[in-house]
Amino acid sequence: MKVSLSAAFALPLAWAFSLHAAPTDTATGPEELNRMDGIKSLSLNSIPGVMPTFYSPHAERRARYLQSLFRGEIAYYTDLFHVPFAPITMAVLNPQQWPTVAGEEPYGMPSVDGTSPAVFVMPVSWDDVTWMLVPKREEVPPAMLRAALANGRKWDQVKFEGCDGIGTHEIGHSIIRQLGIDPQTKWFNEFLASYVGYAYLKAKASPQALSNEIFWTVGLDNAPHPFTKLDDFENKYDELQQQNPGNYGWYQLALDQRVIEIYSQRGVEYLRTVKAEFPSGAPTLDSAQLLDKLERISPGWKAWAIDLEAGHVKTALSPRNAH
């Protein structure tokens, strides 16, 4: 079951935060089944732990950083919900070794396969990634940029943290699934994956959360979005990813505005409410029914949906409250 955040950043990226047309929860294919075999065939060095991490030559430092980041996300939700999560193996790969493990996935596109243990792939460096357009420094609202560069932080660090944030979304899909939450729709599934990653970063790595916010803010008004209805996202999901990734990315960024808004009101406890209200096996809801239920839980969804359909979703962070 491959989960990919690709189009979530698709906008600025050509924020393709998807950066591409990757499915969030699809059936496994032959290329996913051999990821561990691919790792073994490369005779990679590894770092042991609850998230065993294999890495290409000269990438140990990067691998240790990513292992700490994503292992921390799983540990955070293990402590919060007092549930064990299935182990995930990570491979941090250079462009030459990537195809052996990730198959035809574009280089650097984070994804988790559906094997046991699951294998999660990340790039050694975002410098070699070509499918994603990263926000430019001059595009960032000045107040956000000042906050992001506080304490001597550099722009390259900020922009690459925003890229790595895609991985927290991918891990978020796995966490939502294992918590027994039924998102009911594709759009709420994407929202929840981003919420999981964002809530973790806000709690444990606030500067990196701000890097995500920059990615989510820049480009929202500029991405092409001929399709704006939630039903279009549901019914044209694959088509949008494959033929209109900019539009797909716009939906992701629009959902991210609700992530920021609701987190500012409810924090991580919102996920407890969602877990109680949307258990696996619950009756299936369509988008309209889901909006009715979400509105009762946290008002603002219907107003957001009206703005979405009009194609004018407002950014959740103004220059003054971007931190």
Do the strands 111-112 and 3-4 form a parallel or antiparallel pair, or are they unpaired? antiparallel
**pLDDT tens digit sequence for 259-298:** 999 999 999 999 999 999 999 999 999 999 999 999 999 9
- Spatial neighbors of 289 by CB under 8 A, at least 6 apart, are none
**Separation CA 169–CA 255 (nearest Å):** 13
> Alpha helices of the chain — where are they, by DSSP H?
10-13, 30-33, 35-42, 60-81, 98-102, 142-148, 155-178, 186-204, 206-217, 230-235, 237-243, 245-266, 269-277, 287-297, 301-310
Q: What's residue 131's pLDDT?
A: 82
CB 148 within 8 A of CB 215: no
Domain boundaries defined on the chain? 3-310
93: tokens are 């790969």
CB 174 within 8 A of CB 200: no
Burial of 60 (0-12, 13-18, 19+ CB in 10 A): middle
194: tokens are 């981003």
Q: What's residue 16's pLDDT?
A: 36
Q: What's residue 116's pLDDT?
A: 84
Report the CATH architecture of 3-310: Orthogonal Bundle (1.10)
Below-50 pLDDT ranges, the chain: 1-32, 320-323
CB 175 within 8 A of CB 165: no
Q: What's residue 159's pLDDT?
A: 93
Cα–Cα distance list, 52 to 47, 68, 94, 166 (Å): 6, 11, 18, 20
- Spatial neighbors of 236 by CB under 8 A, at least 6 apart, are 227
Q: What's residue 187's pLDDT?
A: 98
Q: What's residue 94's pLDDT?
A: 98
CB 27 within 8 A of CB 80: no
Q: What's residue 318's pLDDT?
A: 63
Per-residue burial over 48-58, b if 16 or more Cβ lie within 10 Å, else e, is: eeebbbbbbee
